Structure 1
Amino acid sequence: MRTHVLVAATLAALAFGASAAPPADLALVRIPDSTTTFSEPVAVRAPKDGSNRLFVVQKGGVIRVIKNNVLLATPFLTKSVTTTSESGLLGLAFHPNFGKAGLPHNNEFYIFYTRPSGDPRLGSQPDQVVARHTVSPSNPDVANPTGTIVLRIPDLAGNHNGGDIHFGADGYLYISSGDGGPQSNPHGFAECLWLKPADNNKNSCGTNPSGTQYYLLGKMLRIDVDNRGGAVTSDMCGSNGISPAEYSIPGANPHTGTSNTCDEIWSRGFRNPWRFSFDRADNRMIIGDVGQNTYEEVTVEPGNSTGGSDHGWSRCEGRHYDDASGTGTTCPATTSTVAPVIEYSHSFGCAVVGGFVYRGPLPSMRGTYFYSDSCTGTLWWADTTGATWDSGGLNNTGLGSGGVYGFGEDENGEIYVAEGGGEIHRLAPNTIFTDGFED
């Protein structure tokens, strides 16, 4: 019967042009129950290992496990982190081979966090780092507490850390980093491809050797964490103080082979790409980049991208030139930067939270992108089949929520919402077909 229902739904969707949209009776279902709360959850992640487990990343440094809809008493991992401002434990990514017997790296996962204030640092504030941890085959619900630092990013403020990490379909690890925190990107970190001091000069990229050198800020990075153990080269900016290297540079990265560039850089021009995701259908990278004065934006890099794109900050905020008035309209026409697929003004919110494209079991909803704003908690949706996803304006699901900090998806493509107040919800369509069977 279920096969009949799904086939009928698919045919109906095709007959009506397969426009991606949520059903009218979409709901938020709290998990694992109506009473369990988490401490500042920022992400929900799931390994593709057949276990159907959900891992809740808490900003304070703890990862919890929901297994068979039950919250396990023992945390998966507890990490000492700095939690000032937007700092903390911010990202989690399971290796694509995680939990798959006989494959290499099948016990590895990666986290992004802010190191404790007492740890060695490269900049004036604690480093933002990516670390590798493992689990024991005897108990995959509890991680080994000792990890290995893979990559370090010097920082000079507690905000604009980015901190999301995901493996792409190419098997490489992608890492988002913010522009360092100071308003209006005064030092030009988001545009610079090489070493850069905090000198209030956007034009001194790679030319001013004085002071602490900051790098890899305001970027999307791509590294190969499987091929490691080699010598650290001068273009591996994230390996400062790490030897031998815990990653290598993919040969097809856009700045490989050029001198005076940090070759981990995949794309640039971000203010604070707090949450991003990959569409599992075509590997599009979808990035929510938090704006400053007037506009929030969501941008996309296609699945066949070769990298090297400039997303505009701080010349552009959304589709607008970031001049003194904030009213210019020359981006990206005169800047050759990536145009957002979604833009909204601060009359609707103040900090975009990038989400996921639904690829779950309901055919009519596949291709729908869900995202939010941490200041309002409004849950929006967008049809991703066009070039501009907000051509008809913002689409409100009507599902009010607390301030949203992050999203997640499980093995089946279902989407989860993490609220700053501590609740986790699953988006739950409750569609009934004419034959009386529920999808």
Structure 2
Amino acid sequence: MRLNKLFAGAGLAALALSATAALPPDLAMTRFPNSSTSYPTPVAIRAPHDGSGRVFIVQKGNTGQGGGVISIVKNGVPLATPFLTVPTILNGSESGLLGLAFHPNYGKPDLPHNDEFYIFKTRPSGDPRLGTSPDQVVMRYTVSSNPDIANTNGTIVLRLPDLADNHNGGDIHFGTDGYLYISSGDSGAQNNPHGFAECLWKKPADNNRNTCGTNPNGTQYYLLGKMLRIDVDNRGGAVTADMCGSNGIAPAEYSIPPSNPHTGTSNTCDEIWSHGFRNPWRWSFDRANGRMIIGDVGQGNYEEVSVEAPGGPGGLDYGWSRCEGRHYFTTSGSGTNCPATTSTVAPVIEYDHTADCAVVGGFVYRGPIVMMRGTYFYSDSCGGKVRWADSTLPGVWDAGGLNDSGVNTSGGIYGFGEDEAGNLYIGKGNGTVFVLTSALGSDLIFEDGFEQ
């Protein structure tokens, strides 16, 4: 993923919508929380469902920032003291503080785990590591007696060995099933030479994508190029052989959901929910129906957005590296029918690199602007255009999914987010954050097939 292109200047413009766009005509991006506040490298904007209305801005960290930082905007005012600062590797690539997820019970005093939240980060260079590069880890933290400040001591829940500082995935969200879902990249080696994205077990970096777990020599890598699902509430048990992410952690800080697709089989990492990803850098759940919508960064030609319906059994293969988008990559064939011979999942959106080069997955809008509900917003780090697609269409969204909102922000977008009310936020590589606004708001009544 070419996120180093993000750190450039950017501006603000009203969305110049086409006449055919099913969006309000006054839709605009408004600087959040004000024109003078900046947040270095904002990769995600999140909010707990605790009734507080607070917005949490995740900054992955750069040299001089002191670590990855989570800041709070409360009642429209940016708080001076960070919610949390965590030590992490600091560089200009794709490592750092990458994800934040509040426990579904967060802020609900009568329910268990009401003070817990989770982060995904790259450990500092000096920390112990499982691979040749610093580990990627999921950690659990708790909030202090001050609801705007977290306790500083966290617990490592899951570890992923790594080979490089790119293709880390790192976006985390709780599903409607209460389980924590985690995206991981394929290790950063171009062309997936080791086959990590296809392999369901442990294997070394052996430059052989056609084998999986057959060579016991060398450093073993696992859980790369995947979507993972773990139960963080039921913890404290013994670490079993199929809990690959618990290397060096005992007792276990999570358990395997019994309905995960690879439980009951040998030589499989049972945390795996789905596989065949290159770098699912940013993804989300649709809050209206639980769909998983994944932006997966392509290799050299095609970017893709894929959708998984709610309530499925898992175990799906999203194609990398046999496919790049709907095109063959390492599997023999030609044209756009790669899933026809590989039995993999085709994306709902595919675009080639004439229209930028590294997709940034976003959210389906479910906020107060009625006319926009059901619209999926996303972007690309190389161009910074805010794109949209009608997510109510089956199969393929808007053919190419390249509806341009009219905003060319002359700088890359790093991540998206939503607050408790469903407002959509955009974090840009130059440190600015915007919120999608319309003066027409929720008083509009339309009969266009969108939710009313």
Instruction: Output the TM-score relative to the length of structure 1.
Output: 0.92
Shift of 1:325: 11
Does the residue aligned with 2:81 lie in a helix, a strand or coil? coil
The letter for the 2-side match of 1:426 is V
Aligned partner of 1:50 in structure 2 is 51
Aligned partner of 2:241 in structure 1 is 234
Does the residue aligned with 1:92 lie in a helix, a strand or coil? strand
1:33-70 residue CA offsets vs partner (Å, 9 max, x unmatched)? 01111111100000000000011100110111110111
Aligned equivalents of 1:239 and 1:118: distance in 2? 20
Alignment of 1:63-212 (within 5 A): 63-84=70-91, 85-136=93-144, 138-212=145-219
Aligned partner of 2:9 in structure 1 is none
1:332-359 residue CA offsets vs partner (Å, 9 max, x unmatched)? 1111111100011101111000000000
1:271-300 residue CA offsets vs partner (Å, 9 max, x unmatched)? 000001000111000000000110000000
Conserved? CA contact 1:276–1:354, under 8 Å? yes
Aligned-residue identity in percent: 72
1:293-346 residue CA offsets vs partner (Å, 9 max, x unmatched)? 100000000012210000000010111111599964331111111110001110
Does the residue aligned with 2:407 lie in a helix, a strand or coil? coil
Does the residue aligned with 1:140 lie in a helix, a strand or coil? coil
Aligned partner of 1:418 in structure 2 is 427
Pair 134,318 (structure 1): closer, same or farther in 2 beyond 3 Å: same
Pair 89,393 (structure 1): closer, same or farther in 2 beyond 3 Å: closer
Pair 408,393 (structure 1): closer, same or farther in 2 beyond 3 Å: closer
The letter for the 1-side match of 2:354 is S
Alignment of 1:279-318 (within 5 A): 279-318=286-325
Does the residue aligned with 1:397 lie in a helix, a strand or coil? strand
Shift of 1:86: 0.8
Pair 207,392 (structure 1): closer, same or farther in 2 beyond 3 Å: closer
1:340-381 residue CA offsets vs partner (Å, 9 max, x unmatched)? 000111011110000000001222211000000011000001
Conserved? CA contact 1:122–1:155, under 8 Å? yes
Pair 280,104 (structure 1): closer, same or farther in 2 beyond 3 Å: same
Which of structure 1's runs of 4+ aligned residues deviate more than 4 A? Answer: 323-327, 432-435
Greater shift, 241-250 or 426-435, is seen at 426-435
Conserved? CA contact 1:272–1:289, under 8 Å? yes
1:375-400 residue CA offsets vs partner (Å, 9 max, x unmatched)? 10000010011121132651111122
Aligned equivalents of 2:22 and 2:297: distance in 1? 25
Greater shift, 79-88 or 127-136, is seen at 79-88
Conserved? CA contact 1:343–1:390, under 8 Å? no
The letter for the 2-side match of 1:417 is I
Correspondence for 1:395 among 392, 403, 426: 403
Does the residue aligned with 1:22 lie in a helix, a strand or coil? coil
The letter for the 2-side match of 1:367 is G
1:3-30 residue CA offsets vs partner (Å, 9 max, x unmatched)? xxxxxxxxxxxxxxxx993222210000
Conserved? CA contact 1:20–1:365, under 8 Å? no
1:67-96 residue CA offsets vs partner (Å, 9 max, x unmatched)? 011110000101110133210000000000
How many residue pairs match? The answer is 417
Pair 143,393 (structure 1): closer, same or farther in 2 beyond 3 Å: closer
The letter for the 1-side match of 2:31 is R
Aligned partner of 2:350 in structure 1 is 343
Aligned equivalents of 2:21 and 2:390: distance in 1? 5
Q: Which runs of 5+ in 2 are unaligned?
A: 1-19, 62-67, 446-451
Conserved? CA contact 2:186–2:225, under 8 Å? yes
Conserved? CA contact 2:350–2:400, under 8 Å? no
Correspondence for 1:427 among 427, 430, 436: 436
Aligned equivalents of 1:413 and 1:379: distance in 2? 18
Aligned equivalents of 1:162 and 1:392: distance in 2? 24
The letter for the 2-side match of 1:345 is D
Pair 385,20 (structure 1): closer, same or farther in 2 beyond 3 Å: farther
Aligned equivalents of 2:30 and 2:177: distance in 1? 33
Conserved? CA contact 2:44–2:99, under 8 Å? yes
Aligned partner of 1:22 in structure 2 is 23
Pair 26,325 (structure 1): closer, same or farther in 2 beyond 3 Å: farther
Shift of 1:422: 0.4
Conserved? CA contact 1:20–1:367, under 8 Å? no
The letter for the 1-side match of 2:412 is G
1:147-186 residue CA offsets vs partner (Å, 9 max, x unmatched)? 0000000001000000000000000000000000000000
Conserved? CA contact 1:294–1:326, under 8 Å? no
Aligned equivalents of 2:333 and 2:213: distance in 1? 29
Does the residue aligned with 2:341 lie in a helix, a strand or coil? coil
Greater shift, 386-395 or 267-276, is seen at 386-395
Conserved? CA contact 2:323–2:331, under 8 Å? no
Conserved? CA contact 1:20–1:364, under 8 Å? no
Conserved? CA contact 1:42–1:407, under 8 Å? yes
Aligned equivalents of 2:401 and 2:418: distance in 1? 25
Shift of 1:206: 1.2
